[in-house]
């Protein structure tokens, strides 16, 4: 089952370094064998040929448009999608721009823009852990099996909450919130085979020897799609 790991691979990004360990953990503990392809944000052509798309941390990306395009392809082609940290932020940008028709920017990428969807957090979460409250009955709550989860962050930007209602009207469900201030931490798209994004980084859970439940659920969705879609070799590799 082929998955596109969209992000500008770097040994300085801890989540990227964890990927080989996570792939091995999925094979050993979950019995899921994935064939990962690293796709830079500067060249996201051919994503529709993959069984899953994972938009990884590592922002600011080399090409914001490429990251947004990865989320669009996954949403429109109904390809299982996981967005983590920067992937969460750029998934929100995709929905805001392409579904809601908003002219909004990411403050990290375009600090001189007029309106921002993603803005600096009042207190950076870089290097911190905090509790996330999960909405009962949501996909993330079903995956985790608990009402709250302690998660790791390397993040300094979050959703401008004034746009929350507009994004919800477009179909997004905000299913995880910070315990302290109620800020959005998880978003999902009901009706899609698997479309989930987290502001936290599940790649950093534990020592990497066991995949975080969110990653295991994504991998299972990729497997389900791979079993249904005819084999078509991707253009990149």
CA distance 174 to 132: 12
Q: Three-state DSSP class for 189?
A: coil
CA distance 220 to 146: 19
Could you say which of 3.40.50.880, 3.40.50.300, 2.40.110.10, 3.40.718.10 is the CATH number of the domain covering 2-228? 3.40.50.880
| Regions of the chain where pLDDT drops below 50 | 233-237
Give the model confidence (pLDDT) of 83-133 as tens digits: 999 999 999 999 999 999 999 999 999 999 999 999 998 878 878 899 999
**How is residue 149 written in tokens?**
């989860």
What pLDDT, on the 0 to 100 scale, is given for residue 236? 41
Residue 227's CB: how many other CB atoms inside 10 A? 9
What pLDDT, on the 0 to 100 scale, is given for residue 70? 98
């Amino acid at each position: 089952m082929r998955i596109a790991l969209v992000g500008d691979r770097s040994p300085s990004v801890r989540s990227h370094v964890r990927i080989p360990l996570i792939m091995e953990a999925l094979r050993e503990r979950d019995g899921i064998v994935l064939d990962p392809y690293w796709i830079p944000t500067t060249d996201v052509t051919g994503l529709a040929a993959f069984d899953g798309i994972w938009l990884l941390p590592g922002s600011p990306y080399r090409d914001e448009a490429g990251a947004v395009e990865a989320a669009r392809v996954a949403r429109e082609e109904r390809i299982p999608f996981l967005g983590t940290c920067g992937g969460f932020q750029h998934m929100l940008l995709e929905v805001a721009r392409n579904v809601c028709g908003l002219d909004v920017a990411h403050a990290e990428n375009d600090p001189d823009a007029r309106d921002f969807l993603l803005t600096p957090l009042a207190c950076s979460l870089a290097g911190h852990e905090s509790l996330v409250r999960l909405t009962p009955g949501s996909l993330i709550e079903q995956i985790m099996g608990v009402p709250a989860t302690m998660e790791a962050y390397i993040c300094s930007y979050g959703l401008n909450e004034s746009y929350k209602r507009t994004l919800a009207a477009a179909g997004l469900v905000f299913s995880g919130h910070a315990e302290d201030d109620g800020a959005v931490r998880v978003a999902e798209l009901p009706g899609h085979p698997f479309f989930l994004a987290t502001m936290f980084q599940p790649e950093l859970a534990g020592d990497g020897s066991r995949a975080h439940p969110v990653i295991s659920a994504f991998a299972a969705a990729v497997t389900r799609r791979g079993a249904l879609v005819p084999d078509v070799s991707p253009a990149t590799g």
